[in-house]
């Protein structure tokens, strides 16, 4: 049984990752923690998480709100870029954008009266060597936990970091991916902590090389033809616009399931090709490269030292992943209390 804390920033693929975690075989979701990121404020993210768990009939899963801002942050004008990006999408897609990242309604329950950082620390300390933390947004909560309790680096089973890019161009700068760019200081803390880390970059999520791992309208038709329940119905109703945006704007085959893919590294590592452990660092300075992830693979004249503890995912069995993903979401509906 894989025991997982899922640390999310509440975007569309985070919703699918939560549902995936609830239905995947051999997984115990210990809790979901929220961080400010792609979907907006930590309050919005927390509401999204709570509503998603209610949809799945799993209000028993603990939820904790975390960091409301990055450790340092970027230029305020750059931090507004995702907001302006959504305005560009609205100009292009019009009313079709209604279902894309809507304000979350008030949930039927509240998050626990406990900070996400404390929840992460206490859960790892209580079960040393058993907890995997899968962080699918900015690394702020995980970094703050490591700063507050450095001992958890040796007690956690592994940290999974969704972020970075190497061969695939970045989505914020030519070399920087959003999750790392949004809080590069936090990402550096995690990657330099000495803990075992799996890094899941854009290369195996948002690249047509791994097209079979992307959600398409064919997949929605497959869902519609099979057993139906609230979870499957939500996917069918909500995600056509996500598919259209990533096809028409980003020129991908479908909607990339980054967050669920990151979770799969814990559940089915056999579906991935990963490097041996390397030292991975993050650029912090110039705007052009801020947030760039750098793998130290060879021998350079200048000396760079850091923990050789991060495995980088380089390839994915997309068909195997998609089969697992669909089965998991159907399993949530099947096991949902009536």
Reading the block at residue 211, the tokens are 């097209």
How many structural domains are present in the chain? 1
Beta bridge partner(s), residue 29: 4
Domain that holds residue 136: 2-335
Q: How many CA atoms lie within 13 A of 97 on its CB side?
A: 16
Q: What is the DSSP string of 150-180?
A: GGGGGTSSEEEEE---SSSPPSSBTTB-HHH
DSSP 216-231: -HHHHHHHHHS---HH
Q: Any idea which residue has 């992943």 for tokens?
A: 321
**pLDDT single digits (tens) 102-122:** 777 888 999 999 999 999 999
CA count, 13 A, side-chain hemisphere, 329: 28
H helices present in 81-200, as ranges: 81-93, 116-126, 140-148, 178-182, 184-191
In whole angstroms, give the CA distance from residue 294 to residue 116: 28
CB atoms within 10 A of CB 230: 14
What tens-digit pLDDT sequence spans the chain (338 residues)? 999 999 999 888 899 999 999 999 999 999 999 999 887 889 999 999 999 999 999 999 999 999 999 999 888 778 777 666 777 777 777 777 776 777 778 889 999 999 999 999 999 999 999 999 999 999 999 999 999 999 999 999 999 999 999 999 999 999 999 999 999 999 999 999 999 999 999 999 999 999 999 999 999 999 999 889 999 999 999 999 999 999 988 999 999 999 999 999 999 999 999 999 999 999 998 999 999 999 999 888 888 889 999 999 999 999 999 999 999 999 999 876 65
Q: How many whole angstroms separate alpha carbon 244 and alpha carbon 240?
A: 6
Q: Which residues contact 102 (CB under 8 A, 6 or more apart)?
A: none
CATH number at 201 reads: 3.90.245.10
Structure tokens, 24: 């995947």
Using DSSP's 3-state secondary structure scheme, residue 95 falls into helix
Name every residue whose Cβ is closer than 8 Å to that of residue 87 and which is 6 or more positions away in sequence: none
pTM to 2 decimal places = 0.94
Q: DSSP letter at 311?
A: E
User: What digits encode the pLDDT tens for the residues 184-203?
Assistant: 999 999 999 999 999 999 99
Q: Which residues pair with residue 270 across a beta bridge?
A: none
| Other beta carbons less than 10 A from residue 297's beta carbon | 12
């Amino acid at each position: 049984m894989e025991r997982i804390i899922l640390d999310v920033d509440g975007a569309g693929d985070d919703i699918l990752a939560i549902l995936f975690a609830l239905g995947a075989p051999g997984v115990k979701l210990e809790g979901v923690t929220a961080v400010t990121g792609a979907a907006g404020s930590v309050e919005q993210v927390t509401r999204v998480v709570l509503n998603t768990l209610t949809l799945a009939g799993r209000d028993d899963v603990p939820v904790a709100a975390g960091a409301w801002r990055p450790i340092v942050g970027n230029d305020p004008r750059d931090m507004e870029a995702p907001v302006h990006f959504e305005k560009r999408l609205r100009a292009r897609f019009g009313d079709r954008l209604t279902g894309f990242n809507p304000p979350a309604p008030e949930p039927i329950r509240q998050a626990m009266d406990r900070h996400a950082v404390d929840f992460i620390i206490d859960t790892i300390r209580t079960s040393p060597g058993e907890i995997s933390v899968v962080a699918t947004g900015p690394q702020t909560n995980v970094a703050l936990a490591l700063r507050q309790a450095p001992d958890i680096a040796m007690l956690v089973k592994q940290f999974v970091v969704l972020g970075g890019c190497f061969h695939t161009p970045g989505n914020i700068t030519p070399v920087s991916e959003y999750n790392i760019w949004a809080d590069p200081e936090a990402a550096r803390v995690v990657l330099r902590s000495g803990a075992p880390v799996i890094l899941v970059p854009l290369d195996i999520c948002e690249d047509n090389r791994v097209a079979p791992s992307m959600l398409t309208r064919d997949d929605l038709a497959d869902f519609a033809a099979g057993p139906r329940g609230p979870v499957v119905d939500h996917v069918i109703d909500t995600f056509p616009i996500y598919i259209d945006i990533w096809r028409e704007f980003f020129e991908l085959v479908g909607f990339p399931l980054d967050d669920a893919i990151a979770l799969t590294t814990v559940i089915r590592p056999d579906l991935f090709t990963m490097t041996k452990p390397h030292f991975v660092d993050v650029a912090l300075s110039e705007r052009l490269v801020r947030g760039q992830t750098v793998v130290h693979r060879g021998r350079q004249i200048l000396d760079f030292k850091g923990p050789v503890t991060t495995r980088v995912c380089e390839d994915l069995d997309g068909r195997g992943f998609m089969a697992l993903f669909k089965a998991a979401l159907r399993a949530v509906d099947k096991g949902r209390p009536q």
